[in-house]
Structure 1
Amino acid sequence: MANTFFRFKQFNVDQAHCAMKVCTDACIQGAFTAQYLVNNQLTVPAILDIGAGTGLLSLMLAQQVDACITAVELDPGAAEQATKNFAASPWAHRLVLTHQDIRKMEVAIPYDFIITNPPFYESALKSGHAQKDQAMHATTLGYGELITAIDRHLHPAGTFSILLPFVQFETFRVLAEAAGFHLQEVLYIRQSVKHGYFRATGIFGREALETHETELAIYDEHNVYTSPFVALLQSYYLYL
């Protein structure tokens, strides 16, 4: 599911100028994550966005949180577009795009928070289109490697946000727990009230807390956006 325009205060990101589609799933993750940081009044001066794509998640967090955000993207086309989107935003002074492989990125400082929307499918069939496969499958960064990268770059007291398909999320959760990360908050996402869960976005940290679980349906039984969806996204969508 893709949307054309988003409202970042006075800054609109136009999908027509993006190298990759901006999807509803990622918008939900960005809004849910920003809400988590704001509601818990967390101080996160330095944020890392792993696999930034065209920069959507970094821009969403920058709108709500006063933090310096470093976005890492391997694909050159997406990295170029993210750089342009950052430069055109009101938060350009707090956004930095680095075009490199997170596995090779040196640990300069520990980040207080990490957000990532990684490739979705580790073992699914590939399309045969290299760029699409890299975006949708873990062809360059497996879940284990991602957890290792997060562990290297995250402050000991830091937390991270991730978005995955519902089934793969449980696989990731098991791997994360084995590495010492515990699921603290999770939002299970339905396409509509008639559907089962198809995505999950969660907050993980090294402290073992009771997991706070919530759910969100995008559409109601009449194929209209639900009130909780509107409430979560209305600060970002130009038309909602």
Structure 2
Amino acid sequence: MANNYFQFKQFRVQQDECAMKVCTDACLQGAFTAQYLLTQPVGTILDIGTGTGLLSLMLAQQIPASITAIELDTAAAAQARQNFTASPWAAHLLVTQADIRALPVTQLYDHIITNPPFYEGSLKSGDTLRNQAMHTTTLSYEALLQAISAHLQPGGSFSVLLPYAAFPGFRQLAEAAGFYPQQILEVKQSVQHGYFRAVGIFSRQAVTPAVTSLAIYEKQNVYTPEFVVLLQPYYLYL
């Protein structure tokens, strides 16, 4: 049974009301994105499909920006709000319970981060909320890109976490919409496994992306040095 909370160095994520719990690949996305944003002028961030609020909290720890988190599910939005209120950055974090496709464009954001539904077209479970969180039942990649395009500053960037096998197709859709990868993180479970996740940071600038490979575990089932360096600001026991 998953824990009701996940304790980080500077914040705690309560997760009992959320279909999707804290996971390592999402933590990698948050850390990798924060590392990138530290080199960029960022004053506003939008988190699409925030769930527990994990990604917003990881960015808030490193980036002095105003962060708005959007969540479709009512219970998850309430839990994200609880996690934000309990954090040291409550004044800079806002949760809105809404469907991003129907959200009015009242401002444009410097950066958008999203961990969108995975496993498009694959077998679904009997859990409606988990399906909503894990599958493209409510938000297709095309709809996600349309929402990003509507809410992103012309010079802004966005970060997305996807299955490695799905990333090339998403990249093709993104480039057709005018977005190009700036940095890509390719992730393996261990040095003995193939890639299973990809984090892409996109903008409207066409460049040759910087590609980084990272394995979470060594052969001895201990974290790799690269993983430790990236997650050390967050993980309690690193």
What is the TM-score with the length of structure 2 in the denominator?
A: 0.95
Tell me the distance in 1 between the aligned counterparts of 2:24 and 2:76. Answer: 18
Tell me the distance in 1 between the aligned counterparts of 2:9 and 2:60. Answer: 9
- Root-mean-square deviation (CA, aligned residues, Å) is 1.4
Asked if 1:7 is matched to 2:5, the reply is no
- Corresponding residue of 1:37: 37
CA displacement at 1:211 relative to structure 2: 0.7
Tell me the distance in 1 between the aligned counterparts of 2:101 and 2:37. Answer: 26
- Corresponding residue of 2:22: 22
- Corresponding residue of 1:166: 164
- Corresponding residue of 2:177: 179
Q: Aligned with 1:31: secondary structure? A: helix
Asked if 1:154 is matched to 2:174, the reply is no
Q: Contact 1:6–1:236 (CA<8 Å) still a contact in 2?
A: no
CA displacement at 1:18 relative to structure 2: 5.4
> What does residue range 63-82 of structure 1 map to in structure 2 within 5 Å?
63-82=61-80
- Where do 4+ consecutive residues of structure 1 move more than 2 Å? 2-9, 11-15, 17-20
Q: Partner letter of residue 7 of structure 1? A: F
- Corresponding residue of 2:103: 105
Tell me the distance in 2 between the aligned counterparts of 1:18 and 1:69. Answer: 22
CA displacement at 1:129 relative to structure 2: 1.6
Tell me the distance in 2 between the aligned counterparts of 1:14 and 1:224. Answer: 26
- Residue in structure 1 matching 2:50, options 42, 48, 52: 52
Tell me the distance in 2 between the aligned counterparts of 1:13 and 1:155. Answer: 29
Q: May I ask how many residue pairs the two structures share in their alignment?
A: 235
Identity %: 62
Tell me the distance in 2 between the aligned counterparts of 1:14 and 1:97. Answer: 15
> What does residue range 88-127 of structure 1 map to in structure 2 within 5 Å?
88-127=86-125
- Corresponding residue of 1:208: 206
Q: Partner letter of residue 177 of structure 1? A: E
CA displacement at 1:128 relative to structure 2: 2.3
CA displacement at 1:14 relative to structure 2: 4.8
Tell me the distance in 2 between the aligned counterparts of 1:54 and 1:132. Answer: 13
Tell me the distance in 2 between the aligned counterparts of 1:152 and 1:121. Answer: 25
Tell me the distance in 1 between the aligned counterparts of 2:28 and 2:70. Answer: 20
Q: Contact 1:8–1:63 (CA<8 Å) still a contact in 2?
A: no
Q: Partner letter of residue 226 of structure 2? A: P
Q: Partner letter of residue 123 of structure 2? A: L
Q: Aligned with 1:167: secondary structure? A: coil
Tell me the distance in 1 between the aligned counterparts of 2:220 and 2:6. Answer: 23
Q: Which runs of 5+ in 2 are unaligned?
A: none
